[in-house]
Structure formats: structure tokens, C-alpha cells
Chains A and B, each alone.
Chain A
Amino acid sequence: MNPDAMTDNPVRSAIDDCLSGVLALPTLRHDILTKARGEITVKRKISLALVLAVVLIMAAVTALAVVTIQEVARHIAQTQQEEGYFVDWPLAQKTKLIKSLGDLGYIQQTDRMKRLMAGGMPEAEAHSTADQMMAAYTGQEVREVSFLSIMQVPMGPVATWTHEEKAWYSQLMKEVGEVTEGRTFYVEPSGPVDEAEAIAIARREVAKGYQVPESALDSYDMQVDFEIPEAHAPGDEQAWWHVRFSAPEGMGEEERLFILFPVYVHPETGVLMRTVEEMMAPPLHQRPTNSLYQAVDALHREAEQQGAFSFRIWPLELKARYTQEIRPRVQEILKSGDLSDLINAGQPDMEVIASASFLYGLPGEGDLPQAEAFDLAKGALSEHFGIDRSVFNRYSEEIVFFDVTDPERPLWKFLFNAGALKWNTLEGGLDNPLKDFSYKAELEARTGRVVKLEEFLFNHSGDLPHSLKMY
């Protein structure tokens, strides 16, 4: 026990107070004991080799296992290549996959599964049943069930795959025609420089480049692959050790050397593809360090701690602070006509200017709650542009502004940014034109009256009128 345990303990009081509703489920003990006794298959990471070994033993002993996980993987890869993600597969392919996974013991043979396999269900019900089973199996929404999400159940997350497993994956993708130029291709390690030596070389060189002891890299996450790099010219099949050091989540700017530092080590010679000194060469344009940018970046750091990496998805509170702390300074610069303090990468910084163009605040008692306004916005966009309402639930980020530029008439603004649309959930995937458009709705916060609905093409033109559409 530590000394603080016997004194007032504010952390314990705070957490217990805030999380007093978080209680262990009554079924927890039962579930754990049931799983511990092996009554339910527990999802866990097992190697491909082990999967194969188990399947081979099962096949030899019982003659019941009719497929191997490799064959299942090939079936998934081929079908995905031809039909897209699982949700769009023909019923016969869906049931074939589920049967295979059942034969291998990854999906429990329930009555529901037996009814699906028996083939007597109406087609719509059978599709729905198959979709639900695979969603439950992968733990993902059915529209996101893909080769990787299916294979990560028996094999564990990709990041934990062995070099052999990654090489097998790359080879399989190549064989079914999924490999395109510019894609990393994993191969099995070869050459006299093994993984441990490659790591040692990478650590030594990076530490030397940054003039720090190698131990300074201990707190960084590290990932190692053996691959033909995606940037290689077509036909260049030289494989390299790719050692990546990355700052762990939450490591502050002041304490970290870098966010990500990749090093390629030649497996024959141990020489680096690009020296650390070359990699460390300063970028052509550096972000300004004047007092305005220091203030902007301080707010960015605060937002990043909350997981918000761009102004648009900042919480309303931070946007309001931006209005109070940054906007007056930006407006002052704009008024003066001397934009030198706003020049970033050789150009006036449209992001900083656009973020300071409107006044943002927080909703008050007389304003519609955000959720209610959001709902109205989706309905209005859906009706006006003839788009299925459910499309507006398929964005990975919710962009919302509370605009108080006119204090007598505050506005809720909602942006559905094309870049955040999960296009693989749309009919036609990348061919669906919806993926190119952004949508925006503006409503009076007090009445809910829709005052503006917009549809515009996503582009990176960087001009102010276009930038302002996003704010």
C-alpha cells in the first residue's frame, strides 16, 4: 500500500464519484468462468502455422474439416476482388464462407446457422442472418466486414502478424489480382542482416542523428517489417528492413524527438536507404513560430489531447476560445494589410484565416439542443438533395459549428465532409458520386428554421471562398 492510500485520495474519490454507475455486470463472473472452462470459443491471437497445424490434425483424425484457413482466406480474397466487401456478396458465397468458418470451429454451430445452411430461408432473411453472423464474428458493422476484419479474428491484429504471415498475405493479394503499384509488398526475411541486427543499426543511426543515447528511443513504439517499399519504382524488387519509430500517444511536443521516423536497412549490407542526416534535413517550409502561431498551436495541442486533430472537429468550447483568443489578432493583421505574420509555406494561411472568419460561441438556454438541430439538418439535406437519410450517418466525423456572428440570430452549422464519408458503405463504393460531394446545412438556433443548404465538390483549391464553405 502506498502512503497516499491512507490520506485523502482525490483520484479515488473523483473516479468513484464520476463512475459510480459503472458496475460489474452480474453476468461477468459467470461469463468468465464459462469461457475459462472452455465452453465458448474464446477469440484469441493464434499464428497461421498453429491454425494450419490444428486443421491438419483435425482433418487427419476426424476427416471432418473440409477446408483449411488458407483456402478460406483465398475464397475471401477472390470473392472480395470480384464482389466487394462481404455485405455485397451473393448469398451462396456468404453461406459458403460461414460454413467454412463453422467447420473450422471459428463460428459456433447454432440452430440459426443450421437453418441458414439448410437453405429454406427466404433470400432476404438469409442475407440478413448471414450479415448478422459475420458482424458478430468480426465485431464490426456488417458494411465494414472485409478480408482483413475476417482474418484478424483467427490471426489477431495485423500489427501482430509475423513476417511470414504478412508475406503470405501479400502473396495472396497478388495472386488474386489485388496488388497495385505503389502498395507495400511484404516478403519473407532473407539476407545476412536479421531483424535484431536491423533494429540495432536503426537505433544506432537514429540516436546518432539526434545526438541522444540509444536509450532515448526506448519509450518510442517500434514496428518492423520486411518489405518491398511502396515507393519503389515498378520492377525494383529489392526488399528492405523497414524499422519505424513512433512517439507514443500522448508524448508531448516538448519531450519528443519526432512523431515518426522510418529507417530502411539493406538486408545484405546493413546500409541505410537514406541516411538519418538526409531524413532530418529541414523541410522547405517550416510552420511559422511567431506569437500568433504559438497561440494557435497551443489550442491545437489542447484539442489533440481530446483526439481532435483539425479545427473543424474541435469541440464547441475550443472553437469559442479560438474566436475569443485568436480571431481578434487575425482580423487585426488582415485590416493592417501586412499579412507577413499569416504567411505559412509561402502563402497566406487559409486555415487560420477561415477559422477566424466567423464568430463561434456556445448554445444557450433558448437554443435548440445540438442533437435536435443535427437531426433537423440531416432531414432537410435528405429531402432537398434527394439523398437517403441514412447516408448522413456514414461519416466518420461530426463537424458542427455554433455561429454567433450575428448574436441576435445564432446558427447551428453542420458539415458533412466528403473526405470523411465511409465510401465503402455506399452502393457502388468508389464509383458512387456521393463520395465527391460535401453537404452543409445551416439552421437558426432558436427556431430550427433552415436558412441554407449546400452541396459542393470536394477539392483542395485552397482559395478563401471554398475554404469558408467548410466553416
Chain B
Amino acid sequence: METVQGPDMSREARLTVMVRQYEKDLLRMCCVYLRDITLAQDAVQDTFLKAYQAMASFRGEASEKTWLMTIAMNVCRDYRRSAWHRYVDRRVNLDSLPLPVSPPKAEHIDLTRQIMRLPRKHMEAVLLYYYQNLNIREIAQIMGVTPSAVSNRLVKARKLLGSALKGGERHEP
């Protein structure tokens, strides 16, 4: 298991490694979650800052990635709860995001929009499971629910997303 603490790395060096490793995925995940590139950039910055500040108290009960995603989810929830976020029109609009490197496929645009429209708890489960490749137990730890609740949310999310994610239930060890 990879952990943040290590005998040969200073806090800054560990932070640098973490930023390099997770920044892109984290930024894209926050972008989907918050539907706003600027907010997403702030959320990523806040996430790493909180991680930096809390590094000393991180005891390695979870993997580094799980720990970081827990912080990121909390930051994103805080942002979504803020009064400012509620009063700004946040219709799902991929056009306001930076231009993609090449034109995305139509089915990819459709699926991304559908994910953005999912209810919060279902979207979190989908992003952590499919985008961050975390397992059910790790997601349960992040979301503060039981593994069965995570599975339940993924099932509902798959239903809401329609055929795109069909392919049968999977069983975790």
C-alpha cells in the first residue's frame, strides 16, 4: 500500500510527487463534479493544500489515493454547498470548458453530460469507481457509507446512465 508518510521524503517532496501523480485526473474529476473549470482549479488547489497541512496526521490507514480523494470530495461538496454555487446558473454545458485536443465522439459527449446530471451521491460513486478506479471498499470509506450502499448507488447510477454502462454486475472479493 502506498502511503504519504515515508522516511526519506520531506513534506514538500511528497506533495510534489502527489501533485504530479494526481493533478490531471483530480482536475478533470472536479470539473465534472462542479461543472466549472475555475472552481475545479480552486478545488484542486484546496485539496492539495489540505493534504499538505494534514500530512503529519495521516497515519496510513487508507491508501494515499483514497485519502486524497476523501479530501477532494469534501472540498467539492463544500463548494457545491456554498451560496455562490447555488445561485449561479450551472446548466450542464461542455462548451464552456477548454477546447478539447480533438473533437470528442458524440457518445462520449452524451455520457459525460449524463454523468454531470446525475444526483450528487450517484455521481460521486461513478467518478470514484470508474474514473479514479477505486474499489467499493475504498469508495465506502470516502463516502462514509457501507460498501453495500456504494454498490446500491452504482446500480442506480448505471440505470440512470442507461445502456452506456450496461455489462452486468461485478462482484468484489
Contact = CB atoms under 8 A, between A and B. Distances in A.
Contact of B105 (A17, A31, A305): A17
> Which of A16, A32, A305, A307 has the most chain B CB within a 10 Å cutoff?
A32
B89 A397 contact: yes
Contacts of B31: 19, 22
Contacts of A287: none
Nearest to A149: B84
A219 B121 contact: yes
Contacts of A22: 27-28, 31, 37, 40, 97-98
8 contacts: A10-B111, A18-B94, A24-B23, A24-B27, A36-B15, A250-B123, A306-B91, A313-B89
A35 B45 contact: yes
Contact size range, B: 35 or more
Chain B interface helix/strand/loop/mixed: helix
Q: Which 5 pairs, one residue from A and one from B, show the smallest C-beta to C-beta distance?
A: A250-B119, A11-B130, A21-B98, A5-B133, A14-B108
A11 B115 CA distance: 8
Contacts of B49: 32, 35-36, 42
> Which of B31, B91, B115 has the most chain A CB within a 10 Å cutoff?
B91
Interface in A11-44: 11-25, 28-29, 31-33, 35-37, 42
Nearest to A251: B119
A32 B48 contact: yes
Interface string B35-60: 00100110011001100110000000
A269 interface: no
Interface of B: 12, 15-16, 19-20, 23-24, 27-29, 31-32, 37, 40-41, 44-45, 48-49, 52-53, 80-84, 87, 89-92, 94, 97-102, 104-105, 107-109, 111-112, 115, 117-123, 126-127, 129-131, 133-136, 164-165, 167, 170-172
A2 interface: yes
A9 interface: yes
Contacts of A157: 81-83
Nearest to B48: A32
Interface residues of A, number: 51
A33 B99 contact: no
Interface in A201-258: 219, 221, 248-252
A457 to B, nearest CB: 26
A211 B172 CA distance: 35
B27 A33 contact: no
B45 A28 contact: yes
A429 interface: no
Interface of A: 1-5, 7, 9-25, 28-29, 31-33, 35-37, 42, 140, 157-159, 219, 221, 248-252, 305-308, 313, 315, 396-397
> Which of A22, A42, A219, A305 has the most chain B CB within a 10 Å cutoff?
A22
B76 to A, nearest CB: 12
B129 A2 contact: yes
B23 A28 contact: yes
Contact of A21 (B99, B126, B165, B172): B99
B91 A315 contact: yes
A245 to B, nearest CB: 15
> Which of A219, A248, A313 has the most chain B CB within a 10 Å cutoff?
A248
B101 A20 contact: yes
Nearest to A11: B130
Nearest to A13: B108
B16 A29 contact: yes
> Which of B45, B94, B102, B118 has the most chain A CB within a 10 Å cutoff?
B45
Given A31-B45, A36-B49, A250-B123, 20 more contacts: A1-B135, A2-B133, A3-B172, A4-B129, A7-B167, A10-B164, A11-B127, A11-B131, A14-B107, A15-B28, A19-B28, A19-B97, A24-B24, A24-B27, A29-B16, A37-B12, A249-B80, A250-B118, A305-B117, A307-B89
A393 to B, nearest CB: 14
Contacts of B107: 14
A9 B130 CA distance: 7
Contacts of B12: 33, 36-37
A14 B120 contact: no
B113 to A, nearest CB: 9
Contacts of A158: 83
A20 B90 contact: no
A207 B53 CA distance: 40
B91 A308 contact: yes
A313 B99 CA distance: 26
Contacts of B24: 23-24
> Which of A10, A18, A219, A252 has the most chain B CB within a 10 Å cutoff?
A18
A28 B37 contact: no
B120 A33 contact: no
> Which of A5, A15, A42, A157 has the most chain B CB within a 10 Å cutoff?
A15
A33 B15 contact: yes
Given A32-B15, A307-B89, A252 B100 contact: no
Nearest to A2: B135
Given A10-B164, A11-B115, A33-B16, A2 B136 contact: yes
